[in-house]
Structure 1
Amino acid sequence: MFEITIGIDPNIAQVGPFLLTWHGLFTALAILAALPIAHHELRRRGLELPNFDTFAFFTVIGGIIGARLFYVLDHPELFADDPLRVLAVQEGGLAIYGAVFGGFVTVFLLSRIYGQPFGVLADSIIPGLLLAQAIGRIGCVINGDAWGGPCTCLACSGARAAVPGGGGLGYCPFAFTYTHPDAIIPHDLLGVPTHPYPVYDIAVNLLVLAVVWRLRGRSLPSGALFALAAVLYAVGRFFISFVRQERVWFWGLQQAQVVAIVAGLAALIALIWLLRRPSPVTTPAA
């Protein structure tokens, strides 16, 4: 096991009231990477959106609002002393499931408003969304807002002794050790080797993307590709969350795991229904 020490300042620069952070930078890069993929997939499926910019803008806004809402609900103690900090999304603190939920609801509403097929929209968005999530997690690696629990391997034992209550969460293939005082990771984990949780999440996103990319040319009911991706990601997210150190909701499960179960079951039911109902399938161009 080897450690990667991350002592980078989460903030890149500040000009007046504008604060540029690594998390904000990679979030912007993630959005820029996802939009052309979504646009290409829509055209490949024969859907020309004359108002693509409107869809893209409001979907991004909806995703950011959902991501921030989920994070604040899971970490209310971080905002108790400074409620206005809730608005400082560029600092980090965006929950991926919140982003998916917010974007999902936004796309559904826009599809109803503009009379567009929701299933085709969802299938076209999912490849770019998965890539965006992977890119966005790079910002989490730097600022520590998606931290893993402390490792229990022998090489980590000295640092782990400083963690209140001791303990740990198993062997790490490698560990992140955050040292910058402004990192979002809890201060009792500063200097402690922790599971590289964002890397695990990047791997899950890229693996699901590989499956989606391979199946995107197949004849599937509209919406089935999105539902399948949701099921696969939920399974992966559930298991990698065991190495996190988050607030337990119930049954020994964390928020992300509870959401993964609910979202995964809902997506599985939707996938089975889509595959079994007699309806025309979409056959995208190669």
Structure 2
Amino acid sequence: MILNPHFWHLAFQFASPGPILVEVGPIAIRWYGLLIATAVLVGVFLSQYLAQRRNVNPEFIGDLAIWLVVAAIPGARLYYVLFEWDNYVNNPAQIFAIWRGGIAIHGAIIAGAIATLIFARLQKVPFWQLADLVAPSLILGQAIGRWGNFFNSEAFGAPTDLPWKLYIPLARRPPDLANFEYFHPTFLYESLWNLAIFALLLLLFLRGLKGKPHLKLGTIFLLYLIGYSLGRFWIEGLRTDSLMLGPLRIAQLVSLGAIAIGLAGLGWLYLLRRPLPDVVSHRETDAGSTLQSSHSRSK
């Protein structure tokens, strides 16, 4: 039997298989939730490993992870809903339907940073130490989480006919682009970009442990801000579903702000040769002996 050529076209088409991984009766396991859970678990294990390498008690990372999850996921949803309020004002119950997508990583980062600041202050540990330990895990988690957009057929770019074009079902296309079938897979661009930034941060972190180069506290997180934001700025320009503030793309504005903060922080560290302001003083840090791992204290 000779199969219709159209069969092969569909068989090898770059398209989402759907948002649901497994469905048993009323219970459905969605790809989006599975990927977020995977990103969190991988991130915790990686950050704990990096903490051990810096002689920091890895239990701090386990405790901080709870704070981050409690803050970041609602923060990501709240950020998205605020800028899409017109779509929720008449149907407020949908605000809590996070499994259908509609979260913004910038909201998660902001909420996570606030939670980390509070955690660092309460535990009397340097914020920038924690930020450096979390940054590689954060960007890796973003690379994993972006594939949730693929399964939900969202966060895609403008129409394209490139070989790696992404098929989007009619129901998921913007009304003004309903006649187009294939779009830029911007989720893939960002995932690959994030993996590259992760590799860079991890390499610098591990080399920094040997003093080659000598990295000051906060450098890894500041490089994360710059590296991620550079990629997000240009990728956001391709998307068709950006959160908008009038004619401006909010993610691009936030990315520019993050790049400015990162560059200013690096200038503070390496040009002015001063430590970054922190939520604890050096005296408080010295008193917080639980920051050190049990291995380092036994030496």
Among residues 102, 105, 124, which one is paired with 1:115 in the alignment?
Answer: 124
Among residues 183, 191, 195, which one is paired with 1:206 in the alignment?
Answer: 195
Letter aligned with residue 203 of structure 1: L
Letter aligned with residue 127 of structure 1: P
Q: Does 1:259 align with 2:249?
A: no
**Cα pair distance change 1:206/1:187, threshold 3 Å:** same
Q: Does 1:175 align with 2:170?
A: no
Q: Could you state the TM-score of these two structures normalised by the residue count of structure 2?
A: 0.78
Counterpart CA distance in 1 for 2:74 and 2:14 is 31
Q: Does 1:80 align with 2:96?
A: no
Q: Which runs of 5+ in 1 are unaligned?
A: 154-171, 282-286
Deviation at 1:198, TM superposition (A): 0.2
* 2:39 alignment partner in structure 1: 30
Decide whether the 8 Å contact of 2:243 with 2:251 is kept in 1.
Answer: no
Letter aligned with residue 194 of structure 2: N
SS of 2:267 mapped into structure 1: helix
Deviation at 1:144, TM superposition (A): 2.1
Name the Cα RMSD after superposition: 2.5
Counterpart CA distance in 2 for 1:248 and 1:214 is 36
Decide whether the 8 Å contact of 1:6 with 1:178 is kept in 2.
Answer: yes
Q: Which runs of 5+ in 2 are unaligned?
A: 1-8, 209-213, 277-299
Deviation at 1:92, TM superposition (A): 1.6
Q: Could you state the TM-score of these two structures normalised by the residue count of structure 1?
A: 0.81
Decide whether the 8 Å contact of 1:68 with 1:95 is kept in 2.
Answer: yes
Among residues 231, 234, 244, which one is paired with 2:229 in the alignment?
Answer: 234
Counterpart CA distance in 2 for 1:279 and 1:247 is 37
Letter aligned with residue 239 of structure 1: W
Q: Does 1:44 align with 2:33?
A: no
Aligned length: 258
Q: What is the aligned-residue identity percentage?
A: 31
After superposition, where does 1:30-179 map in structure 2 within 5 Å?
A: 30-151=39-160, 153=161, 172-179=162-169
**Cα pair distance change 1:175/1:80, threshold 3 Å:** farther
* 1:163 alignment partner in structure 2: none
SS of 2:166 mapped into structure 1: strand
Deviation at 1:45, TM superposition (A): 0.9
* 1:168 alignment partner in structure 2: none
Deviation at 1:80, TM superposition (A): 3.1
Decide whether the 8 Å contact of 1:148 with 1:196 is kept in 2.
Answer: yes
Decide whether the 8 Å contact of 2:268 with 2:274 is kept in 1.
Answer: no
Decide whether the 8 Å contact of 1:148 with 1:194 is kept in 2.
Answer: yes
Letter aligned with residue 30 of structure 1: A
Decide whether the 8 Å contact of 1:123 with 1:222 is kept in 2.
Answer: yes
**Cα pair distance change 1:105/1:78, threshold 3 Å:** same
Structure possessing the higher radius of gyration over alpha carbons: 2
Decide whether the 8 Å contact of 2:47 with 2:61 is kept in 1.
Answer: no
Counterpart CA distance in 2 for 1:180 and 1:19 is 23
Letter aligned with residue 49 of structure 2: H
**Cα pair distance change 1:243/1:66, threshold 3 Å:** same
Letter aligned with residue 242 of structure 1: G
